[in-house]
Amino acid sequence: MKSAAVSGLLSSLVLALLALAVLPGCDTVTTGPPPSDTELTMWLGSYSSSGDDDSGAIMIDINRTGRTATAELVIRSHEQETPYNHLYLKGSVHGDDLDLGLDTDRIAYSFTFDVELTIGPGGTMSGSFYFSTYDMTATFDCVELESAEVGADTFIDVSAVTLGLAYDSEDIWISTSSRDHFLMDSTGAFVDTVVVFLVGDARWASDALTSDGSLLYGGYPVTVGGPEGSRNESDIVEFTKDGTVSRRFRIGHRTSGLAWSGTGLWSLPIESDSLYRLDLEGTVLETVPAGVPDLVDIEFDGEYFWAIGWFMKRLYKISSFGEVLTVYHLPGEYGYIFPTALAFDGSHFWYSYNTSYLGSRIYRLSVE
- Contact status, residue 290 vs residue 305, Cβ threshold 8 Å: yes
Residues 82-101: tens digit of each pLDDT: 889 999 999 999 999 999 99
3-class DSSP state of 88? strand
* pTM as predicted: 0.87
72: pLDDT strictly greater than 70 = yes
**pLDDT confidence band for 204 (50 / 70 / 90):** very high
Residues 23-60: tens digit of each pLDDT: 334 444 444 544 445 578 999 999 999 876 889 999 99
Q: Are strands 284-289 and 274-278 parallel, antiparallel or unpaired?
A: antiparallel
Q: What is the mean pLDDT of residues 333-356?
A: 88
101-123 CB burial, b ≥16 within 10 A, e <16:
bbbeeeeeeeeebbbebebeeee
Closest CA to 258 of 218, 214, 314, 285: 218
Distance CA 274, CA 257 (A): 12
CB atoms within 10 A of CB 199: 9
17: pLDDT strictly greater than 60 = no
Handedness of CA 281, 277, 307, 131 (dihedral sign): positive
**How many H helices and E strands in the chain?**
1, 30
Question: What is the 8-class DSSP label of residue 332?
Answer: T
Distance CA 81, CA 99 (A): 28
